[in-house]
Structure 1
Amino acid sequence: WNSPFPPSGQNLPSPDCVHSETAALPAVTEQLEMVSCLASLSITPLPNCSQETLCSSSSTSTDHISSPTLHVMHGRQEIMEESSASGLDSSIQDDGRKIYFMQRRHRFLSRMEKHINKFRGWLPRKPMKFDSETLPDLEQNESFTAPFSRSRIHHFIIHNKETFFNNATRSRIIHHILQRVKYEEGKNKMGLNRLLNNNSYEAAFPLHEGSYHSKNSIRTHGAENHRHLLYECWAWWGVWYKYQPLELIRRYFGEKIGLYFAWLGWYTGMLFPAALVGLCVFLYGVFTLDDCQVSKEICQSTEIIMCPICDQYCPYLRLSDSCIYAKVTHFFDNGATVFFAVFMAVWATVFLEFWKRRRAVLAYDWDLIDWEEEEDEIRPQFEAKYSNKERTNPISGKPEPYQAFTEKYSRLLVSASGIFFMILVVIAAVFGIVIYRVITVSTFAAFGWALIRNNSQVATTGTAVCINFCVIMLLNVLYEKVALLLTNLEQPRTESEWENSFTFKMFLFQFVNLNSSTFYIAFFLGRFTGRPGAYLRLINRWKLEECHPSGCLIDLCLQMGIIMVLKQTWNNVMELGYPLIQNWWTRRRLKREHSHIAKSSFPQWERDYNLQPMNAYGLFDEYFEMILQFGFTTIFVAAFPLAPLLALLNNIIEIRLDAYKFVTQWRRPLPSQAKDIGIWYGILEGIGILSVITNAFVIAVTSDFIPRLVYAYKYGPCAGQGRAGEGCMMGYVNASLSVFRVSDFETRSQPRTNGSEMFEEAVKYCRLYRDYREPPDSAEPYSYTLQFWHVLAARLAFIIVFEHMVFAIKTLIAYLIPDLPKDLRDRMRREKYLIQETMYEAELERLQKEKNEKKRKKDKTHHKEWP
């Protein structure tokens, strides 16, 4: 491992330390420039900026009380004056259009005093000296951090006041100022966001630290800036096998983005054991195929004739025609399936519990343990809507807009109705896919091409999954717009309430959209079809689709495999392809329009402005993609053990793809703080609980695990002997297929051929697809046998036992694994104790100095009074 950074979890040296280690990295200038590109109809765009982007129509914001252009100009002038009064330096580039630069490079500490005192940044205190006999294990150079205060500046390690605050902190301070600067008289006429919303400004963003690439090698000449260093050590595809430099990511992008990549790296690392065990389960099925009695019987049953799978057009088939499907099913549904389902349930719990510990370590190392998010500001839309309804805030004592109880819940009721309607749309889409499957299986069965005709069910499933994927992607676009509309309709009071409401709706919509067809195949396909002669029909017309003689698990595997591969591939292509194409087109247009200007002569703000802005929803799409993948990896993993392996391979690419996107294709986002992943952790816990239930039903209902056990212990050759090996499964296939008399077919179900062209004589009896019914000559023909009720009871018992056992194991593991590692708890307690001791000693020292000073003054006064 030859990266200049330590593995994740260790502290990264400061830029000065990095310089001393690499011996070639030049000092990185601390700077932040908030760039705002003007958009106004009265000003001609700068030639090297996008005219389409910068020229926008007049805003209809409620802030406009007169002529939009005059008001916008007035707002810009006021905010620049107020920003200067707040201590920010501003410069203007005027070349046909005004570009404002907000910066604070010189005397940052002194000029920002009143704002820094309000900003609770955790910064390093001076090293503390302690008695080595009392604390022999304390490192000599250890120091702790504390909230910065100008009045206690002498307690902090300040080598250079101009570089005391890192880039992320300086960005947050300047953004804090710009968000609170008034641009017009009025209690709500303040903040940069309002001017962005009413098109006074086109954009505002921190600048990247120069170019991310260099002609010189980083090993010989060092990195030119932090962005270049991030690219070479993190975003470049050639370093995919290295640890992520989390500390540098945090310094450059802020704690919130650093925490996302820490979680993504942790999730990817935890997928290694899950992928390995899942691969072993799959290989176990491959290596034990020759010993599988059920597969042998299906492949050797050339004399067993199966009933047609559809009305009229489908022919009779030999059971041996399903040989390949029986073998593939054994790869996934074998003796190790139950173990793997339990393992994945435990894995999900271990993953979440150890992530809490990992998050705690990061929060401590990044000084976020005691960090609390500032009180959310009221959304401008909420203020505009309810500006005429106010009440006094019981905490601040200030008047604020108020939403009446009846109006609030009436809006929530309308929103809930919209959510319910969209879920019905998903169900309707699934219903359409079911109709397609029913119609298409008959069409393929009558197809002229023998390959399609003999594999009509697989062809139907494959095409249905592809169509379902297209429907999923189209509905996702619709759901985003509907979720945004419903969330705005609710009029949430604060930004956090808006984000939580939007996140919940988007997750609910897309989770149902993505998994509804999978739930249908897993738990409904082939379960309610009836029997020949008394089929249950869709709209009293179409016969519902049945499963293969080897079961429906092969359909579920095919559904999950295609959806996972297609969706992950599509997401990766869109995530990287869209910004690449957009940026390429912008560079091509600029090169064509300004061929006489060298690329290097463009200012940094121009190069960054031509990059793509970060998604309007922040990290929502990044988290959401991984959460859905986590659901696929856990919810139906008993049916598809290769899901963790596919997820692992995707995430190895995803980490570097996201890194490349953040470093090279996106504008630099505003660094922000967060001490956890927020609402997503609760969603992960909910998916973990749901996965236990679904896997219990997949094993009990979808797979053949329970029917085989019942046969082995009760009806097979080993009945009453207390064992259930492969030798005990002889005769299982014949016992699980009921007999049907062809003359009992309904008229509309009667096959057009009697089977004489395939067999020596006309077919008189055929076998049902995995059903336990009495033969046609019995006293109660086609009624359920006793074996059916035994299997049903065993399935219900297994679901109850499996769920209780796994939930007990999960609860026990969660109880045994503490949220904080022991060494971290000890470090936190020791830090608290030492800080208290230091403060106590500092106070004693201060009192002693005051006492000595008073004594000195008293002695001096007494000396002057001496005759």
Structure 2
Amino acid sequence: MEASSSGITNGKTKVFHPVAKDVNILFDELEAVSSPCKDDDSLLHPGNLTSTSDDASRLEAGGETVPERNKSNGLYFRDGKCRIDYILVYRKSSPQTEKREVFERNIRAEGLQMEKESSLINSDIIFVKLHAPWEVLGRYAEQMNVRMPFRRKIYYLPRRYKFMSRIDKQISRFRRWLPKKPMRLDKETLPDLEENDCYTAPFSQQRIHHFIIHNKETFFNNATRSRIVHHILQRIKYEEGKNKIGLNRLLTNGSYEAAFPLHEGSYRSKNSIRTHGAENHRHLLYECWASWGVWYKYQPLDLVSKEVCQATDIIMCPVCDKYCPFMRLSDSCVYAKVTHLFDNGATVFFAVFMAVWATVFLEFWKRRRAVIAYDWDLIDWEEEEEEIRPQFEAKYSKKERMNPISGKPEPYQAFTDKCSRLIVSASGIFFMICVVIAAVFGIVIYRVVTVSTFAAFKWALIRNNSQVATTGTAVCINFCIIMLLNVLYEKVALLLTNLEQPRTESEWENSFTLKMFLFQFVNLNSSTFYIAFFLGRFTGHPGAYLRLINRWRLEECHPSGCLIDLCMQMGIIMVLKQTWNNFMELGYPLIQNWWTRRKVRQEHGPERKISFPQWEKDYNLQPMNAYGLFDEYLEMILQFGFTTIFVAAFPLAPLLALLNNIIEIRLDAYKFVTQWRRPLASRAKDIGIWYGILEGIGILSVITNAFVIAITSDFIPRLVYAYKYGPCAGQGEAGQKCMVGYVNASLSVFRISDFENRSEPESDGSEFSGTPLKYCRYRDYRDPPHSLVPYGYTLQFWHVLAARLAFIIVFEHLVFCIKHLISYLIPDLPKDLRDRMRREKYLIQEMMYEAELERLQKERKERKKNGKAHHNEWP
């Protein structure tokens, strides 16, 4: 969103002055509006913007009025005429003086105008203000295919719109009890906002008479101006005779400390926005986006337990060697009740619902994306319009070939060079994934070692809950490892992506995004996959336990099942990560900015009030992430995975995600508007590779939830017992009475004298009945010790295994069929939008033809008029 002296825009191209009757303004008339800016690089003022410079005095003496506000708000040069499009910051003490001088000299050679100011806080800091005049903007806008308005849109209202408007009026009568205009932007707070949409087309200087240009200084909005200047700065050399170009490298080597476009003034105002309107776009965003008072509006842009609790006579075998005691099954009553909340018949339907919801969400997002792309004039923007990355151009400038689309020569990367770089990059990705697996292996070792340690603890609370304590501490340690590895992953992903040398910015972003997502996803979910599908599955049985490195006995599930461990893993990781992300996104910038303001007050004294210019205020804010909105996208994608992949094990994940998003929308708004420097505007047709990742997560969620229900939960064993082995077996009935005896049927018997020496517990179990125990129970389907094949698998085990495999196949095919059906039934483009686009294409062709015909008629009339005048002058 951008602000100008004439009004405020809101995402789309807006026109604030009355539209001229003749929109085809001639080029010679436009050239008459000359820029008053002067290139003043030699004058270095101390930053006092309240005084009028000599340039401004000369302008005022020449009859041109300089708005006093422009001289004092820090958004213009000292003459009050040239708007600041970009700010560079450096220190005079920096040793990179030569590179900076060459860079600034080339900046002026490109036509950009420059002015310098020293900081009011630190005289060593110099602000370089850059302004792009009309000639530069026009030249580069044409190169960058910047779309600009050339004719007002003509809307037609379909009949269904009229019908729906009548329905909306009837519905609105029943909404009086709701907040005013729920989930809508309250435009009554914006009395100065007039919305006039325009058709747009790539800017061309040869056809400049087709575009609506009321004022050359405001024709390109602020976002476009800063984007063009940034584009220029990324392609300027800073060493003569070498292919060393770009502002990013100068920021890396310390030649410049910062580079950013300016915010449009203060985000606060003494006057109410309802009565006086918004002071600027920043003020508008603060009131209508970052305010908690608008949280409800859109952004200016979703029996078994009973048996366990009563089983006081069932004694369970120890869950670890020596130190773990025998325990009654009824001691796990609380965990069984908690598990039953998630592990019941409704879990299957909830998993199916979430899988279908993920598909519906993505399909409607595609429709919403199409509407947004249309509103923001990006529907016809293609990747072919992108410029080649300066780094790619500098690397392969000696090798060129013809572009098959544009027919122009461009730098070319050989196939063998590209393949070799991709192989090295893939090897780096594989190595980092191995690092994650090694970290998970370390967590597994920690779990199997500490469960015995907690079982021998002095505190009864921890000793009696050794497994829960092991799981809780392991999750916390896992979270710390995740956060540490994330720092390493970002550096490795950046290194590998730059090694690949992508051709365009979108290719670079897609490659970097894919690597970071793979790293983060594996890092965040590897332990979860271990708990869901491997914990307690390969432990063996009492008397024949499988061991790690022939020493440590593998960890078993809790007597109430493995689902409680998975639920704890999901809940702790999700809550801790969301809390940490919110703190780093808002709390950290708040602390940093508070510390900066505190140092300023200490240096200048609290009694002295200084009015700082806008560039000084923005410099003291926190810089935006170097990768733009990447962290925001990544956080949402990982959250989407939490709410879909293991939702059958942790149904609270969607609720936590909803609460987090309601809070984070306002936190992000507050951060962008008040705590961060203004981000650089960029164009994108959609969310890029992120959408493919979302679809992949949706497919993976169906598979994982099928396995969680079939393998991790007790849904299938209970179903098999009810229809095959329970009191209602063969009757086709199901219910609470059919589950009587299930717990006892799911436990096997072990003879204590068959324990290995290193597994034999220190206690003999006499505390339960007064005499040493002879038998204990464990979770499995195995024959008793006095059978023909002691501890062999029972027939019930194979029935449960077959039912689990059958359920996975049926569940996956059913859900995938539903997903494909929904994808087919919901079109990617709304029908009314498709009709409007077709209508507009037709109107654009007509208008282009009429405009060209009108121009030819004017030229013919002028030639006739000139011919008659010449004839009359002939003697």
Same fold (TM > 0.5): yes
CA contact (8 A) 1:35 1:99 kept: no
Q: Assess if the C-alpha contact under 8 Å between 1:345 and 1:691 holds in 2.
A: yes
For each residue in 1:493-546, what CA deviation from the matched residue of structure 2 results, as whole angstroms up to 9, or x when unmatched? 544333322222221111111111111110011111111111111111111111
Deviation string 1:463-487 (CA, Å, 9 cap, x unpaired) is: 1111111111111122222223333
From the superposition, tell whether residues 116 and 598 of structure 1 become closer, same or farther in structure 2 (CA, over 3 Å): farther
Alpha-carbon distance in 1 for matches of 2:260, 2:83: 10
- Residue 189 of structure 1, CA deviation: 6.0
Q: Shift of residue 390 of structure 1? A: 3.1
Describe the superposition over 1:377-409 as per-residue Cα deviations: whole angstroms up to 9, x where unpaired: 55555566667x635455578877665554543
2:204 to 143, 149, 161: 149
The answer on whether the counterparts of 1:304 and 1:318 sit within 8 Å (CA) in structure 2 is: yes
Matches within 5 A, 1:627-646: 627-646=637-656
Three-state SS of the structure 1 residue aligned to 2:379 is coil
CA displacement, residues 658-705 of structure 1 (integer Å, 9 cap, x when unaligned): 111111111111111111111111111111111010000000000011
Q: Which amino acid aligns with 1:748?
A: R
Contact map agreement 1:487 1:501 (CA 8 A) in 2: yes
Displacement after TM superposition at 1:762 (Å): 1.7
Structure 1 letter corresponding to 2:490: E
1:205 aligns with 2:260: yes
Find out whether 1:822 has 2:831 as its counterpart.
Answer: yes
Answer with 196-205 or 179-188: which moved more. Answer: 179-188
**What residue number does 2:107 align with?**
79
Specify the code of the residue in structure 1 equivalent to 2:721: Y
RMSD (CA atoms): 3.5
Q: Which residue of 2 aligns with 1:287?
A: none
Q: Residue 125 of structure 1 corresponds to which residue in structure 2?
A: 150
Q: Distance in 1 between matches of 2:428 and 2:246?
A: 34
Q: After superposition, where does 1:25-44 map in structure 2 within 5 Å?
A: 32-39=83-90, 43-44=92-93
Query: Which whole-Å deviations, capped at 9, do the CAs of 1:8-61 have from their partners, x for residues lacking one?
Result: 9997976779xxxxxxxx999997524444536xx35xxxxxxxxxx4x54xxx
> Which AA in structure 2 matches 1:834?
L
Using a 3 Å threshold, how does the CA distance of structure 1 residues 598 and 34 change in structure 2: closer, same or farther? farther
1:91 maps onto 2:146 in alignment? no
For residues 839 and 778 of structure 1, the distance between their equivalents in structure 2, rounded to whole angstroms, comes to: 91
The correspondence for 1:427, drawn from 424, 437, 448, is 437
Aligned to 2:451: 441
1:103 to 113, 131, 134: 131
Kept in 2, the 8 Å contact 1:33–1:103? The answer is: yes
Unaligned regions of 5+ residues in structure 2, if any?
A: 1-8, 19-68, 77-81, 163-194
Q: In structure 2, what is the equivalent of residue 341 of structure 1?
A: 351
Structure 2 residue identity aligned to 1:93: E
Q: Is the 8 A contact 2:764 2:772 kept in 1?
A: yes
Matches within 5 A, 1:706-855: 706-769=716-779, 771-845=780-854
Helix, strand or coil for the counterpart of 1:235?
coil
Report the Cα distance in structure 1 between the residues aligned to 2:622 and 2:12, rounded to whole angstroms. Answer: 31
Aligned 1:1-80 pairs, distance under 5 A: 32-39=83-90, 43-44=92-93, 55=94, 57-58=95-96, 69-80=97-108
The whole-number CA distance in structure 2 between the counterparts of 1:131 and 1:658 is: 37
| Partner in structure 1 of residue 190 of structure 2 | none
Cα separation, 2, equivalents of 1:146 and 1:401: 27
Q: How many residues end up aligned between the 2 structures?
A: 773
Deviates more, 1:593-602 or 1:229-238: 593-602
Measured after TM superposition, the shift of residue 718 of structure 1 is 1.2
Task: Give TM-score, length-normalised by structure 2.
Answer: 0.81
* Cα distance in 1, alignment partners of residues 549 and 518 from structure 2: 29
Counterpart in 1 of 2:554? 544
Shift of 1:75: 3.0
What is the correspondence of 1:484-499 to structure 2 with a 5 Å cutoff?
Answer: 484-499=494-509
Moved more, 540-549 or 849-858: 849-858
Match of 1:242 among 297, 312, 316: 297
Q: What amino acid does structure 1 have at the position aligned with 2:742?
A: Y
Aligned to 1:679: 689
Give yes or no for contact 1:78–1:184 (8 Å, CA) kept in 2: no
The 1:716/1:829 distance shift into structure 2, 3 A limit, reads: same
Q: Secondary structure at the match of 2:220?
A: coil
AA partner of residue 512 (structure 2): F
Cα distance change, pair 313–712 in 1 and its aligned pair in 2 (3 A): same
Task: Provide the rounded CA distance (Å) in 2 between the counterparts of 1:131 and 1:447.
Answer: 77
Q: How many Å apart are 1:299 and its aligned residue?
A: 1.0
> Residue 76 of structure 1 contacts residue 200 of structure 1 at CA under 8 Å; is this kept in 2?
no
From the superposition, tell whether residues 301 and 380 of structure 1 become closer, same or farther in structure 2 (CA, over 3 Å): same
SS across alignment from 1:92: strand
AA aligned opposite 1:39:
Y
- Give the 3 Å change call, closer, same or farther, for CA 479–775 of structure 1 in structure 2: same
User: How many angstroms apart in 2 are the aligned matches of 1:128 and 1:439?
Assistant: 71
State which of 578, 581, 597 in structure 1 corresponds to 2:591.
581
Query: 1:164: which partner in 2?
Result: 219
Q: Which piece of structure 1 moves more, 583-592 or 341-350?
A: 583-592
Q: What is the rounded CA distance, in whole Å, between the counterparts of 1:376 and 1:567 in structure 2? A: 36
Equivalent residue for 1:114, pick from 131, 139, 149: 139
CA deviation vs aligned residue, 1:70-122 (integer Å, no higher than 9, x gap): 34323323322x14xx3x43323367665321125xxx656744344445333
Taking the aligned partners of 1:635 and 1:130, their CA distance within structure 2 comes to 44
Match in the other structure for 1:275: none
Give the equivalent residue in structure 1 for 2:525: 515
Give me the whole-angstrom Cα distance separating, in 1, the residues matched to 2:770 and 2:650. Answer: 41
Q: Is 1:226 equivalent to 2:236 in the alignment?
A: no
Contact 1:444/1:456 (8 A) holds in 2: yes
Please, which moves more after superposition, 145-154 or 552-561?
A: 145-154
Instruction: Specify whether residues 414 and 152 from structure 1 end up closer, same or farther in structure 2 by C-alpha distance, changes over 3 A only.
Output: closer
In structure 2, the residue matched to 1:5 is: none
**1:161-560 superposed matches below 5 A:** 161-180=216-235, 186=241, 188=243, 191-193=246-248, 195-246=250-301, 269=302, 293-373=303-383, 379=389, 390-393=399-402, 395=404, 405-560=415-570
Structure 1 contact 75–200 (Cα < 8 Å) conserved = no
How far did 1:154 drift?
4.3
Q: CA deviation at 1:349?
A: 0.7
2:61 aligned residue: none
Note the C-alpha offset of 1:858: 8.5
Distance 1:852 1:420, change over 3 A: closer
Q: Could you list the runs of 5+ residues in structure 1 that have no partner in the other structure?
A: 1-7, 18-25, 45-54, 59-68, 247-268, 270-292
Partner of residue 613 from structure 1, selected from 623, 638, 643: 623
Q: How far apart, CA to CA, are the structure 2 residues paired with 1:861 and 1:73? A: 56
Structure-1 separation of matches of 2:605 and 2:158: 72
Secondary structure of 1:39's counterpart equals strand
2 CA distance for matches of 1:130 and 1:449? 75
For the 8 Å contact 1:706–1:794, the answer to whether it is kept is: yes
816-825 or 182-191, which moves further after superposition?
Answer: 182-191
**Cα distance change on mapping 1:550 and 1:856 into 2, 3 Å:** same
Superposed CA offset, 1:551-588 (max 9, x none): 11011111101110011001111111221222222222
Q: CA deviation at 1:764?
A: 1.0
Q: Which amino acid aligns with 1:422?
A: M
Following superposition, the deviation at residue 804 of structure 1 comes to 0.8
Counterpart AA for 2:145: R
Q: Structure 1, residues 243-301: CA drift from partner, whole Å, max 9, x if none?
A: 2122xxxxxxxxxxxxxxxxxxxxxx2xxxxxxxxxxxxxxxxxxxxxxx211111111
Paired residue secondary structure (2:767): coil
Q: CA deviation at 1:861?
A: 9.4
Residue aligned with 2:768, SS: coil
Confirm or deny: 8 A CA contact 1:306 1:768 kept in the other structure: yes
Paired residue type of 2:658? L
Q: Amino acid of the residue matched to residue 679 of structure 2?
A: P
1:263 aligns with none
